[in-house]
Structures are given as structure tokens and as C-alpha cells.
Structure 1
Amino acid sequence: MSDAGAEPPSFRVAVLGLGLIGGSVGLAARERLGAHVVGFDPDPAVRERAVELGAVDRAVDQVAALGDADVAVVAAPVHALRERIAEACAHVAGAVVTDVGSTKHALVEASPGDPYIGGHPLAGAEVAGVEHARANLFAGATWYLTPRADSEGILLERLHRFVVGLGAVPTVIGHGDHDRLMAAFSHVPHVVANALVAQATRALGEEAIPVVGPSFRDATRVAGANPPLWAGIYDANREAVLDGLDATIAELQAARALLAADTDDARGQVAAWQAAIGDQRRALLDIGMTGGSLHEIRLVVPNRPGVIADLALTLSRAGINIHDMSLSPQPDFRSGEVALWVAEDHADRARALVEEVLAP
């Protein structure tokens, strides 16, 4: 039967790389957004399996065959991200192109600009492959977006809404800040976990004493994870990881000096240090957890390149996340109305910052 005259799908997604993350993007986009998803993967068996599992509506054997799309998500291995992003920008017409890589600075700096906006969902699993993909993988997860200063507002809005539609919480951040924070909160902890395992192995020696407790298991859960993937991540974020390791070594040296001082005063300092670290951990885990109602900020902005990205990055640097946004061009197309939704507690500060950005 011919489908001539059939209406085109309302939302189209292209996925480049059909592993755990790419497959989950496809499943979530189909189930939650009703999107039509076309996927590419260089492995024919993976393409076939992705179709069987419903991760994509159809799969193609080359990027140029993906066709037009509203959003193109590059979920390739770390070493292939730059090439795949360039291919998506060149061949997926009409799309805002993003990726899911855990480092951003090199990719953003090397990109041709629009239509690419970097992305990184803080979601994953201990397993890999499209057979483990699931539509709820991103539910409630932070999804970083790293626009350039000149990224088009309409593309950022479209990508922001797409991420919300997948169930994630989009957070705009500068690409340099992203890599520094990922080194501190993810990459360096992986290195430290590896070192803890090596240290414990040396301490145990030839003994077979069952000494592994919950503290060790919790602190080393990520040790040795996915060697090819993590080798690529360490390489891609080398400078930030090295800086983070230097800072960690300095903290350990200070802790050693404190523990080595065998005095009553030092013992009191150790207890105070332990308590202070507990307070800092609770504060870190509470960041971004403020709930409550959202407040709408509506304003008219000039139609100039990068104005929306500038607003989003400014609020991000102040610790204010945009939970939702919408753009509406004015009839003369020289300006537009933007609505931003932020947490009620942040509304006054957000409005003041926005007004500063827009001040002549």
C-alpha cells in the first residue's frame, strides 16, 4: 500500500551510535515524545538489533542516509565523537546537533558552531549495548548543555525541550566549567577508586582474610570500569584530571600531616576536620535539590546571535537552573519574547541578572 499523502512525523530524531545511551535516547524519544527515530551505527548487527528492540523506527548504514531531523544525537565512542558530530552537522539537515560525551571543551572548540550544542547526560549503567537500553534511563537525571556564546536561541530552546521531553533535567553550563567539574566529581574519583583498590591489594598481600566491608565497596564501586571508555575519557580531559589529581594529592598530604601530629590539640582538629567534611558533603549533595514551585520570568530580548545562550550561561554561573523556556519572535523579527521558568527562591536574583545582561 502506498503511503503517498501521509503526514510526516511531527518530531524527527536522528541517533548516531546505537549502544546503551543512543538506544535509550531512541526508546525515550519514541515512547515519551512520539518521535520518529532513525538510527545509524557502523555495526550491521547493532543496527538490526536496535530495530528489533524498538530503539529506532529504522536504521541506516551511512550518516548521509539519516535524512532531515529536528534533533540529531551523537552517541558514538569517545574517539569517534568529533568525526560523527561533523558528519551530523553536514548531513542531517535542519537538526540541532548534540552529543552525549562526558568531556566538552575540545568538542565545542573544534565544532563549526551552529547547529552543534554540546550535551552530556549524567546517566548510564554498569552494562553496555543496545540490549540494555531503556526508555526511563534519563528520568530525573541532570543533562548538561554547553552552548557556545553565539549559539542560536531557537536551537538551544529546541534542545532544552527535547531533553525535558526525555525526562531529564537540562542544565546549561560553559564547556570549560563542565570539564573542570566532571574531573572533580567523576573522573578523579574514578582514578582514586583505582588507587584504593591497588593500595588494598598490596595491604592484603597473600592473605585470604575477608576484610572487604561496605565502606570499601562504596568507595571503589567504579574501580576498573570499562577500560577502553575510561582510557578515552582520561585522555580527552587530561589537563582537568591532572589539576584535580594535584588538588587531591595536596588534600591527602594535609590530612596526613594532621593525622601524624600526636597531640591533644591535633586530635581535636581531626574531629573538627571530619565534622566539617561531613557538612561539606551534605551541602554538595543538596545543590540543585531545592524544590517548590517555579516562577516565570517573561521579557523581550533583541534578535542578536547568542543572546539566549548568554542569558542561560549567566544564570548557570550564578547557580540558577532554567527548568523550562520558550521563545516567541515579534512580528518585526527584530526582537522576541522569551519566558524562563526558574525556582521561586531564585526568581528575584534571576531577574536582576537577566536585566544586567540585557542592559544597553
Structure 2
Amino acid sequence: MIRSAAVIGTGLIGTSVGLALSRRGVRVHLLDNDESAVRTAAVLGAGVTTRPAEPVDVAVLAVPPGQIGVVLAEQQARRLARCYTDVGSVKAGPERDVLALAADPTSYLGGHPMAGKERSGPLAATATLFEGRSWVLTPRSDTNSETLNRVLELVTLCGGVPVIMESTAHDRAVALVSHTPHLVSALMAARLRHMPDAAARLAGQGLRDVTRIAGSDPRLWVDILEGNATAVADVLDDLAEDLAVAVGALRELAREAAEERAQGTTTMADLLVRGNQGRSRIPGKHGDAPADCVPVHVLIGDAPGELARLLAVVSELGVNVEDMAIEHSTGRPSGRVELQVSPTAAPVLAERLQERGWTVQPGEESDASAPEGLVNSW
């Protein structure tokens, strides 16, 4: 049973691990070269800033992927822990570094919790960050059983769901579902650097959704992309082919000849249908296919506690929310919360919320032809 742990690196993930473990009664020792970050994490309740007097049960290396091998070797030399894991989003490269540098690779097990935020640093951390989220573990044939059991217990204490993968298979998977989407988001956001003010005022939730993750720490992402460069480049090659097809279809749609426009329409429709099909493969919150849900839109004021008050009412009414999104109104001190619920629960929830004084907007189905930003304007 884990009674003590060390976390090296008190950014978003490391501090969240510390908060989750501390909440379960584990004594956590926080280590970081950034004194401000480690003090902040300690004040938040993620652990203590003293180095343990004796080896802890498990140490979590919450450092960039390129530093995992070196940091592991240093901490093993200092006998920090009985076993070690990491939270790096690349696995094959760090695994090679560990095998080359660490005194005892058998006491190390690679890990990657599939959770995060667009904001970084200890102030963005939460104890519930990993609850219900996949946590990849990449054991090797020489990983000792104590290390495997300890790290599995660590994942459970943090609320994660362990997923066993081989390191190179993990890197190919995250190139598709995480690393390339982040890079594409950054590239789209880069188009906005010199955006005219008039265009900025028209920005809607779709643009925010596409560019949200582009706000992450560039230094960390350079390290991540360097560690998984080939796999990401392979995905981008395929994407570049589709982009070229899309550009060609758009050129055809702009031509005068009806035959060319018809071909462009067919090609563009095929691309969009393929997008629908790919989107449907993303699991819902329970790990299966996305639930058949409908949105209920509720207006809230931009004041502390408003969202919590709304969610408390929804919980009191016994409605299960499958997903939620928050849209901010440009230039206004208000926002709109989209609650995804079952089709049978939606009308009841809307009625009950209105009875309690909330402003519920009508469904957008009848407004499908209106441009984004002009639908149900408020």
C-alpha cells in the first residue's frame, strides 16, 4: 500500500498528482528547481517541500520527456524511491534514455495520464484531473512486479483508468489523437495574429473550440513534438493530402462551369462526411460511442459561483449531463452554457430551469441556416 510518494516537477500534472494523492492520505514530497512553483503547489495542499528522510514508495517524474532518463538516473543515485514512473506524453524515447542511463531500469515504469488543460502551472491543477481518464502504462519484460503493482495503485488512487500499451504503439496513437491536433490548433491560431478588429468581433465558439489548446506552453510542446516527430509528421502527411484535395474542391466550387462546380460539391461533401464518420469514433464519457444527446442552452452571468449554482440545480433535478461547453459572449459580461442531455430529459430540464429563474434559450434546430454568431443572439 502506498503511504509515501515524491513528485518531481510541480506544473499542472505534477501538482494534480500531488493533490490527488494527498487527498487519499498519502504523504507527498514535492521537488522542483522552480522554488515559486513548488511553494505554490505546497500551499494548494499538494504536499510538503522537504525531501524525504528515507525512500518513498513511489516517485512520479513530472518533467518534460527529454529529461526523464537523466532525472531518473539522478534520483535513483539519491535513493529517492523504491520505484518510479513518469507522466510524459512520449514513451519510446524516454524508455531508450532510461535503459541507457538508469542504474536500475527494472524499477521504472513509463506512464502517461491522458488528461490536461490548455493552462499550465500549479495554479491550474486539480485533484480530480485524472478521474475516469485513461492512464497509459508501458511495462517492459524486465519491469519488476513491485513497480507494476505500485504504479497501478498510484493510478487508482488518482482516479485514473490504467491502459497497458507498448511504448511505440502509444506514440503512434497519441500522434493521431493528441499531438497532431495540438499542432493543427496552433497553426490555425497563428492565422489570427494580424486579424482585423472587425473579424475578431465576429469570432464565435467554433473558433474558440478549434484554437483552445493552442494556448499551451510552447516550450513544453517543442519537447513533446521533438520526441514524437516522425509519428506526427506521418499524420500531417496524410492531412496535407486531404488539405490539397479540399483546396482543389474549393477552387472548383468557385468556377463558372456547372460541371466543375458539381465535381467540387461531390468532393467537398465526401470530405465532410468522412469528418462526421471520424468524429463519431471519439468515445463518450463512459468510454463507448457518444451518447445520443441534445443541447439545452442556459444563459449565466459572469459572476463567481454562477456555474456552480447552475450545476447544483441540475444535480438536484436528477438530470445526467453527458457533456458541457461554455460559450462566452464577446464584449458582454455573460455567457451561455450548453448542457448535453438525453432527448427525453431535455424538455423537462429546460422547463424546470425556467421555473427556477434561469434563462433557457430555444433549440437551434430551427435556426440552422443562420450564420454562426447570429443564432439566438444575446
Same fold (TM > 0.5): yes
Q: Separation in 2 of the partners of 1:272 and 1:182?
A: 26
5+ residue gaps, structure 1, are 1-8, 292-360
Per-residue CA distance 1:227-285 (angstroms, 9 max, x = gap): 21112222222222222221211221233344445253552453344223212211233
Task: Give the secondary-structure state (helix, strand or coil) at the position aligned to 2:47.
Answer: coil
Task: Give the secondary-structure state (helix, strand or coil) at the position aligned to 1:220.
Answer: helix
Do structure 1's residue 53 and structure 2's residue 51 form an aligned pair?
Answer: no
Task: Give the secondary-structure state (helix, strand or coil) at the position aligned to 2:212.
Answer: coil
1:217 is matched with which residue?
208
Per-residue CA distance 1:197-254 (angstroms, 9 max, x = gap): 333557x568656332222221111224212111222222222222222121122123
8 Å contact 2:134–2:162 — kept in the other structure?
yes
5+ residue gaps, structure 2, are 100-104, 253-259, 290-378
1:252 is matched with which residue?
243
Q: Which moved more, 1:147-156 or 1:162-171?
A: 147-156
Question: Match of 2:136, as an amino acid?
Answer: Y
Match of 2:265 among 259, 264, 267: 267
1:141 is matched with which residue?
133
1:130 is matched with which residue?
122
Q: Separation in 1 of the partners of 2:17 and 2:272?
A: 41
Give 1:119 shift. 0.8
1:226 is matched with which residue?
217
TM norm structure 2:
0.65
Do structure 1's residue 289 and structure 2's residue 287 form an aligned pair?
Answer: yes
1:20 is matched with which residue?
12
Question: Compared with structure 1, are the counterparts of its residues 198 and 28 closer, same or farther at alpha carbon in structure 2 (3 Å cutoff)?
Answer: closer
2:278 is matched with which residue?
280
Question: Compared with structure 1, are the counterparts of its residues 279 and 58 closer, same or farther at alpha carbon in structure 2 (3 Å cutoff)?
Answer: same
Question: Compared with structure 1, are the counterparts of its residues 47 and 151 closer, same or farther at alpha carbon in structure 2 (3 Å cutoff)?
Answer: same
Task: Give the secondary-structure state (helix, strand or coil) at the position aligned to 1:285.
Answer: coil
Per-residue CA distance 1:24-70 (angstroms, 9 max, x = gap): 211211212x212122122334444433332114423xxxx563122
Q: Separation in 2 of the partners of 1:254 and 1:124?
A: 33
2:74 is matched with which residue?
87
Question: Match of 2:186, as an amino acid?
Answer: N
Question: Compared with structure 1, are the counterparts of its residues 101 and 289 closer, same or farther at alpha carbon in structure 2 (3 Å cutoff)?
Answer: same
Q: What is the aligned-residue identity percentage?
A: 34
Q: Separation in 2 of the partners of 1:136 and 1:76?
A: 20
Give 1:10 shift. 5.9
1:111 is matched with which residue?
98
Q: Separation in 1 of the partners of 2:131 and 2:157?
A: 10
TM norm structure 1:
0.68
Q: Separation in 1 of the partners of 2:53 and 2:65?
A: 21
Match of 1:99 among 77, 86, 90: 86
Per-residue CA distance 1:308-360 (angstroms, 9 max, x = gap): xxxxxxxxxxxxxxxxxxxxxxxxxxxxxxxxxxxxxxxxxxxxxxxxxxxxx
* CA RMSD, Structure 1 to Structure 2 (Å): 2.7
Count of paired positions: 277
Q: Separation in 1 of the partners of 2:80 and 2:32?
A: 18
Per-residue CA distance 1:109-152 (angstroms, 9 max, x = gap): 12132111111112223333334432112111221111123322
Task: Give the secondary-structure state (helix, strand or coil) at the position aligned to 1:221.
Answer: helix
1:295 is matched with which residue?
none
8 Å contact 1:67–1:91 — kept in the other structure?
no
Question: Match of 2:89, as an amino acid?
Answer: S
Q: Separation in 2 of the partners of 1:49 and 1:266?
A: 55
Q: Separation in 2 of the partners of 1:205 and 1:49?
A: 39
